[in-house]
Amino acid sequence: MKNAHDIIIKPIITEDSMDRLADNKYTFKVAKDANKVEIAKAVEEIFDVKVAKVNTISVKGKEKRMGRYTGFRPDWKKAIVTLEGEKTIEFFDGMY
């Protein structure tokens, strides 16, 4: 069984994710092998809120160069979590 803190890696703080807060949607970087049910349970456990919906996006790593050598950043997974009701996640409120 995975720990909730192993599934939710960190919140994503961008201009786009801050605009989604008005719709009660929160964006997180999550483990690549986590599914929607695990993500919903982890958010409910960590932040004590009720999750209505989870959308996931697999993000490809960008190509990076160091001189003539090329490589890639690692692939990662993003989750957009929609909450039920008027509950909010306090971590995001004072950020923007």
Domain annotation covers residue 94:
no
The answer to the question of residue 76 being in a domain is yes
What's the domain count of the chain?
1
On the question of pLDDT at 1 being above 80, the answer is no
Tens-place pLDDT, residues 9-23: 999 999 999 999 999
The domain of 78 spans 4-85
Closest by alpha carbon to 83, among 24, 40, 28, 32?
A: 24
pLDDT of residue 78: 98
Q: Region 51-61: what's the mean pLDDT?
A: 97
Task: Residue 15: give its domain's CATH number.
Answer: 3.30.70.330
Calculate the alpha carbon distances from 67 to 61, 62, 72, 75 in Å.
Answer: 19, 16, 14, 22
Q: Please report whether residue 81 resides in a domain.
A: yes
- What pLDDT shows up at residue 96? 46
Is residue 91 situated within a structural domain?
Answer: no
Chain-wide mean pLDDT for the chain?
92
The verdict on residue 77 lying in a domain is: yes
Position 73 scores a pLDDT of 96
- Is pLDDT at 87 greater than 90 in this prediction? no
Residue 12 in any domain: the answer is: yes
Provide the pLDDT for residue 89.
87
Stated pTM of the model: 0.87
Residue 95 lies in a domain: no
